[in-house]
């Protein structure tokens, strides 16, 4: 677990040097930014996957670019597919690497088992031992040292031609007594580890991850303590991430949003469903739901069967353009 607030481009997951030929050549990078006039917190502006000779960029707001060309979903390329997985955009390579982004707060990277211990970056080496993840690119273990997060983060900084800023020190987070009281309420982080709450079954089965999620949640809420709206948003996003992990582990359909007061705003002609198909019909792939092989997720679904998802809303399928040689062309 790393709490790093740098504003540059960084390596999230890359193959370790010396693994040439053992695993494919790829890079997962993140460009960070400030938001909401904050001075201490960084967010993901976009995440990039470099693979199969292409650069795929998952941008804030859900836009997707391949080699700087804006594309529509679903899309297939030699070596990878780009689809939707619930409210996330999903890129899956033919060698099993998966990168997902919700276009706002969360980026997920999944690697095949054979990659474990053979990668490094801000996400660690994925060897199953979280105790060694605070290691710089040159192999120095910074655990427990001053400014350990900044030291690790800066070691994975990517040189670009764009000026950027990395913090000199780790962000000092202290919670007021008032915020500590707030954190104990159901709508905040303690709900994650409440064994009698909506997450109880999942939390009992995954005690250590639940504790990590709660700790990260409390950090994010406290660092946003000056703005109650942002603090609440941070709590909701962390609980959303935990609910997603629970769903991946078989605890699907946890109806936590009402208890936590964390509603979702769906687009035009869309309805919220706590557990439904992770795939959405689009002009490019109108049969996506029928063909979907992904586990069910919470999702915003079209309010009518003859609609498809387009630009974050549901529209009549009759407004779609045409498909030629596997590429969809919109009606102007």
Cβ atoms of residues 284 and 76 within 8 Å:
no
Distance CA 16, CA 21 (A): 11
| Same domain for 201 and 119 | no
Question: What's residue 330's pLDDT?
Answer: 67
Is 164 part of a structural domain of the chain?
A: no
| Same domain for 295 and 185 | no
Is 168 part of a structural domain of the chain?
A: no
Tokens for 178, please give them: 């008032």
| Same domain for 274 and 250 | no
Distance CA 137, CA 43 (A): 22
Distance CA 162, CA 179 (A): 37
* Per-residue pLDDT reduced to its tens digit, 269-320: 999 999 999 999 998 889 999 999 988 889 999 999 999 998 889 999 988 8
Map residue 328 onto helix, strand or coil: strand
| Same domain for 244 and 275 | no
Which of 260, 281, 313 is at the close of a domain?
A: 260
Total number of domains constituting the chain = 3
| Same domain for 218 and 97 | no
| Same domain for 241 and 286 | no
| Same domain for 60 and 195 | no
Token pair 């062309």 is at which residue?
329
**Which of 59-63, 68-72, 107-111, 322-326 has the least mean pLDDT?**
322-326
Cβ atoms of residues 4 and 166 within 8 Å:
no
Is 265 part of a structural domain of the chain?
A: no
Is 90 part of a structural domain of the chain?
A: yes
Is 24 part of a structural domain of the chain?
A: yes
| Same domain for 242 and 275 | no
Task: Quote the pTM value.
Answer: 0.85
| Same domain for 191 and 150 | no
Distances (CA, A) of 39 to 43, 77, 187: 11, 40, 26
- The CATH number of residue 277's host domain is 2.10.25
- Orientation of helix 207-223 relative to helix 228-248, angle to 10°: 160
* Between 126 and 98, residue with greater pLDDT: 98
pLDDT-based confidence at residue 208 (cuts at 50, 70, 90)? confident
Question: What's residue 311's pLDDT?
Answer: 83
Question: What's residue 20's pLDDT?
Answer: 61
* Per-residue pLDDT reduced to its tens digit, 101-117: 998 888 999 999 999 98
The radius of gyration of the chain from alpha carbons, rounded to an integer in Å, stands at 20
For 310, the domain range is 270-329
Which of 240, 260, 280 is at the close of a domain?
A: 260
Is 171 part of a structural domain of the chain?
A: no
Rounded to 10 degrees, what is the CA torsion of 53, 58, 59, 60? Answer: -160
**Count of Cβ atoms closer than 10 Å to residue 324 Cβ:** 8
Distance CA 241, CA 44 (A): 15
Distance CA 281, CA 290 (A): 9
**Which of 165-174, 240-249, 251-260, 281-290 has the least mean pLDDT?**
165-174
| Same domain for 193 and 124 | no
Cβ atoms of residues 254 and 262 within 8 Å:
no
Pairing of strands 88-93, 80-85: antiparallel
Question: What's residue 146's pLDDT?
Answer: 81
Residue among 244, 311, 323, 325 nearest 287 (CA): 323
Which of 208, 241, 260 is at the close of a domain?
A: 260
Supply the mean pLDDT for the chain: 88
Average pLDDT of the residues in 12-27: 84
């Amino acid at each position: 677990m790393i709490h790093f607030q740098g504003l540059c481009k960084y390596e999230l997951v890359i193959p370790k040097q010396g693994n040439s030929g053992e695993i494919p050549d790829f890079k997962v990078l993140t460009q960070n930014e400030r938001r909401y006039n904050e001075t201490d917190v960084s967010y993901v502006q976009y995440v990039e996957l470099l693979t199969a000779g292409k650069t795929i960029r998952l941008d804030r707001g859900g836009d997707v670019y391949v080699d700087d060309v804006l594309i529509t979903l679903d899309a297939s390329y030699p070596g990878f597919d780009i689809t939707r997985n619930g409210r996330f955009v999903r890129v899956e390579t033919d060698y099993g690497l998966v990168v997902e982004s919700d276009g706002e707060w969360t980026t997920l990277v999944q690697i095949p088992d054979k990659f474990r211990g053979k990668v490094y970056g801000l996400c660690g080496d994925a060897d199953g031992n979280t105790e060694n993840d605070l290691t710089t690119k040159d192999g120095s273990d910074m655990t427990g040292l001053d400014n350990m997060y900044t030291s690790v983060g800066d070691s994975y900084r990517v040189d670009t031609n764009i000026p950027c800023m990395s913090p000199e020190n780790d962000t000092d987070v202290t919670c007021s007594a008032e915020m500590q009281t707030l954190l104990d309420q159901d709508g905040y982080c303690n709900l994650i580890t409440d064994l009698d709450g909506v997450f109880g079954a999942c939390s009992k089965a995954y005690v250590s991850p639940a504790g990590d999620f709660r700790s990260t949640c409390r950090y994010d809420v406290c660092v946003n303590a000056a703005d109650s709206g942002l603090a609440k948003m941070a709590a909701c996003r962390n609980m959303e991430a935990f609910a997603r992990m629970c769903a991946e582990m078989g605890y699907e359909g946890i109806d936590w949003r009402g208890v936590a007061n964390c509603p979702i705003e769906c687009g035009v002609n869309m309805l919220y469903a706590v557990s439904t198909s992770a795939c959405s019909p689009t002009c490019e792939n109108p049969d996506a739901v029928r063909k979907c092989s992904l586990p069910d997720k919470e999702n915003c679904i079209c309010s009518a069967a003859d609609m498809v998802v387009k630009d974050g809303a549901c529209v009549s399928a009759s407004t779609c353009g045409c498909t030629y040689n596997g590429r969809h062309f919109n009606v102007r």
